[in-house]
Amino acid sequence: MKTKTLGVLGGVGPLASVRFAEMMINMTKAETDQEHIPLFMFNDNTIPDRTSYILGKSDIDPAPKLTDGINRLAGLGCDYIVITCNTAHYFYDELQASTSVTIVNMIEEAVNAALAKKPNLKKIGVLATDGTVQSGVYGKVIEKHGFSCAYPSENSQKTIMDIIYRQVKAGKDVDVHGFLKIIDELRHDGCDVIILGCTELSVINSDNNLTLHSGDIVDAMEALAEKCITLCGKEVKK
């Protein structure tokens, strides 16, 4: 099978996009440079904030910039495209309609990874931005698969937003203890699996190896990377 080329629309946020590219390299079974997957990245940090728009706090629609990025990557000959932002999947149908190139859906892959991890699961907890939570992009997919979806309490959700925006995006130290405490709250709420449904939270995972040490945590960005490696004709490193 000929190796396919992957396009990555990043900048949402910039650090998470770089971590995704690093995941692609670290997770691909390859012994030489030539065995890795060709990858184009458009790290466009001018894309307006998705959460602010979804919540009605901004009237600047991110969709045109997202569409422009998708079309640029398609024009480079990418066989598949990914968007390294969970919240941006609110616009997924509109973006996919703008191109004939398949946009790999990170939400779908995260839920599939949760099911693979715990085949008998009933309830999935999701940690994400307010925009992702209120848009229901995870809830719709989770319920379509026949599971129930849970989110943190109101106060804990405020802490998650603080961790995402004022710590990871701001390049500050992360309150990992507080983050893990919220994961424990979801466990006590009966969640069989907890999805890290924000790429800034994926940064915390990559810095602390959470999915390596916890059998009930799924990193959406890791799930996306694993799917892309397979789609592009390579093998995932075990």
DSSP state of 77: T
Burial profile 146-172: b = 16 or more Cβ within 10 angstroms, e = fewer: ebebbbbeeebbebbbebbbebbeeee
Residue matched to tokens 């307006």: 48
What residues are annotated to the active site? 85, 198
List all residues 6 or more positions away from 237 whose beta carbon is below 8 Å from its beta carbon: 26, 27, 28, 29, 30
Which alpha helices (DSSP H) does the chain contain, by range? 14-27, 50-54, 63-75, 92-97, 106-117, 130-135, 137-144, 154-162, 176-188, 199-208, 210-213, 220-231
Element (H, E) at 123: strand 123-127
Distance in angstroms (rounded) separating the CA atoms of residues 32 and 211: 27
